[in-house]
Amino acid sequence: MRSTAAQEPGEPTTDRRGRRRTATRDRLLTAALELFATQGYAATTYDHIAERADVGRQTAFNHFRRKEDFVIAWVRQRHELLDRREAAEASDSGTAVEALAGELRALAELNERDYTLAKELHDNGVLHSAFALGTATPRAFVAAVTRGHQNGEIRHDLDPESVADLIFDSYVTALSRWLHSDGNFPLTEALLDRLAIHTTGFTPARVTRASRRHS
């Protein structure tokens, strides 16, 4: 008969199973990312990942159906960090643009910290695929823009999600160029420059007014 001595009183079995499943998934993701960075994405197999995570090969497949799913999970994990940051700072008196700048700085720091991994995934084309296959604009971007829209910081005729998409697309492009150049320029500065262009425009106000008169 199976012993229940280790069972926590009042804790549903499904909760324990869920935590075990999450822990296994996290262990697999950590193992995969470590291997991608050290021995390369293409050279890493499911057998390598399962062995590093100390689970069966089928268990690895059960959690991540495709090898690209590890990369998608990594990107989403970063976006969840931004979501928690946005939730913690939403009550601050800072503007929406300041919040977006902080989120872009955080992403730049993450990419600089994990440069070897990010570079490997970029050079294999899998990072671009991860953005294309299953990575939506971070909710933190949408939340910051929506807050600015409600506060009158952002034009009311613009859709907040479209503005957030524009900023995220600009981040993805700048990241790709940074990785392609082997990190040959400051990523944070590039991201903040692009944010400034989005928020202020790239033509003087008098030029914009003149063009409207002639349209």
Cβ atoms of 58 and 107 within 8 Å: the answer is no
pLDDT of residue 2: 40
pLDDT at 214 over 60: no
Q: Which domains does the chain have, with CATH numbers?
A: 12-65 (1.10.10.60), 67-213 (1.10.357.10)
- For 129-144, the pLDDT digits (tens) are 888 865 789 999 999 9
Q: Please give the C-alpha separations between residue 181 and each of 41, 42, 175, 178, 198, in angstroms, as whole numbers.
A: 20, 21, 10, 5, 23
Confidence of residue 6 (pLDDT cuts 50, 70, 90): very low
Residue 5 confidence (pLDDT) above 50: no
Predicted pLDDT of residue 201: 86
